Amino acid sequence: MSVLSKSGLYIQEIADKDFLVKGFQEVAKNPYHKDNNPKGIINLGTAENKLMYDVLSKKLAEPDLHIWRKDMLMYSNIAGYYEFRETIAEFLTKRTNAVTPLDPNKMAVMNGCGSVIETIAFAVSDAGDVWLTPAPYYGGLLTDSCLRAKVDIFPVHLYSKIEENETQQYELTPEKLEKCLKDARSKDLNVRGLFLMNPQNPLGIIYSKEVISACLKFCNKHSLHIIFDEIYLTGGFVEDVQTTSILQFKPEDIPDPERTHFIWGFSKDFAMSGMRVGLYYGFSDVVRKQILSQCRFTQIPGFIQIMLSKMLKDEDWVDNVYYPTNQKRLKEGYEIVTRELKSIGVPYLEACSGLYVYCDFRKFLKENTIEMEEDLWMKFIAAGVYICPSQAFFSDEFGWFRVIFADEKVKLELSMERIKKVCSELQRG
């Protein structure tokens, strides 16, 4: 008899499927260090922004951001300090050109967006229910929704080949959503929602207002919840390009606000994945009340809330220091990686936001199979670079890899040299 419960065994089974964790563990065995381990593995597989430590550490060290108050040592509002929620509401209203100012009372801050996804799953779905999502999709979503809430993901498979009546690769259409919903129901699955990450991970696609409107109408037609994960919302690095956000929709253009939900956090746009700060914003009093009931498990220390609140309130620093520097560095990283991809004839999806580029290495596979993709993945790791294969994103089109470019120039250039060496050896036979 196992020392674990049935629930414990189930959780372990789901956790073991997390390919992103598997890749992270490979890096941990032999991490790169320019002096101590120059032949170690460089991690361009984990979606973190490693470009902004100098700017952030200087800002976060300012004495004005280090405030201790008596209430920080006491129990507090489980939704988060009102002043923190108010500051975030003002920031997002301005940064996204929201048509309606965000209401701090409709918001809850939690210890990371993974916790936000899980609380939504518990609030609007039962164990065994499924959510639709365009695939390839962020692999951590399955862990977040399924590990404890037991809400599974049913992929809407999209492909790189542009079919008749399509205008771009991996195009999401109402017809594909309808077909996927029909397929799921034919398997006796209870579909409760559509999860839409925008900008999309790993594709880097920014969904247009027309696509989002079609998704809203689709969900309203079938009484489905729609969850907008916009964790890369303000991370654009191409001038004059802004993500289309659900916050930019007029209330009358959101057909079912009771089933519409928004997620954002500090991990990507503010290069703070270790801070663990995410937020839920919703329009339903009923759902929000249930979400808040779960927040007793997801609170953030008051010290962090006040520090980040003061950081956001410094609009001159945010607008004239942080964002211009971040955008400049992201653009430089993107240009380094894409330049080297072009030099070896590897196609990729053009990106203008986020931390990654999705690349087509299929010509280096002997066969387009999951086994051949994993073999190539292991060759890259053996050469000293970890990039994330398509199977980590539950794609059934193998040979694509996500490459993170939000890292130091010297590491990006060394990584691409290692990747090019592997590809050159494969081409020689």
pLDDT value at residue 165:
83
Question: How does the average pLDDT of the chain come out, rounded?
Answer: 94
The pLDDT of residue 121 is: 97
Helix (H) or strand (E) holding 291: helix 285-294
How would DSSP label each residue in 198-219? SS-TTT-PPPPHHHHHHHHHHH
Q: What is the pTM of this model?
A: 0.94
pLDDT digits (tens, 9 = 90+) for 147-177: 999 999 999 999 999 888 888 999 999 999 9
What is the three-state SS of 309-336?
A: HHHHHCHHHHHHHHHHHHHHHHHHHHHH
Other CB atoms within 10 Å distance of the CB of residue 339: 11
Task: Give the pair of three-digit tokens for residue 27.
Answer: 């890096």
Residue 32 parent element (H or E)? none
Helix (H, G, I), strand (E, B) or coil at 227: strand
How far apart, in whole angstroms, are the C-alpha atoms of residue 212 and residue 103?
22
Give the pLDDT score at 411.
97
**DSSP secondary structure string, 367-417?**
SSSHHHHHHHHHHHHHHTEE-EEGGGGT-SSTTEEEEE--S-HHHHHHHHH
Query: DSSP label at 103?
Result: P
pLDDT tier for residue 429 given thresholds of 50, 70 and 90 = low
3-state secondary structure of 353: strand
- Residue-wise pLDDT for 197-219, tens only, equals 999 999 999 999 999 999 999 99
- Counting Cα atoms < 13 Å in the Cβ hemisphere of 265 gives 28
Q: What is the pLDDT of residues 336-361, one digit of tens each?
A: 999 999 999 999 999 989 999 999 99
- Burial of residue 324 (number of CB atoms within 10 Å: 0-12, 13-18, 19+): exposed
List, for residues 364-417, the tens digit of each pLDDT value. Answer: 999 999 999 999 999 999 999 999 999 999 999 999 999 999 999 999 999 999
pLDDT value at residue 201 = 96
Burial of 235 (0-12, 13-18, 19+ CB in 10 A): buried
Helices (H), 155-284: 174-186, 209-221
Residues of the chain with pLDDT > 70, as a percent, come to 100
Sign of the alpha-carbon dihedral angle for 74, 80, 82, 87: positive
Domains located in the chain, CATH noted = 6-55+318-421 (3.90.1150.10), 67-314 (3.40.640.10)
Question: What pLDDT, on the 0 to 100 scale, is given for residue 349?
Answer: 96
Q: Which residue has the tokens 């653009």?
A: 331
Pull the structure tokens for residue 108. 């809850």
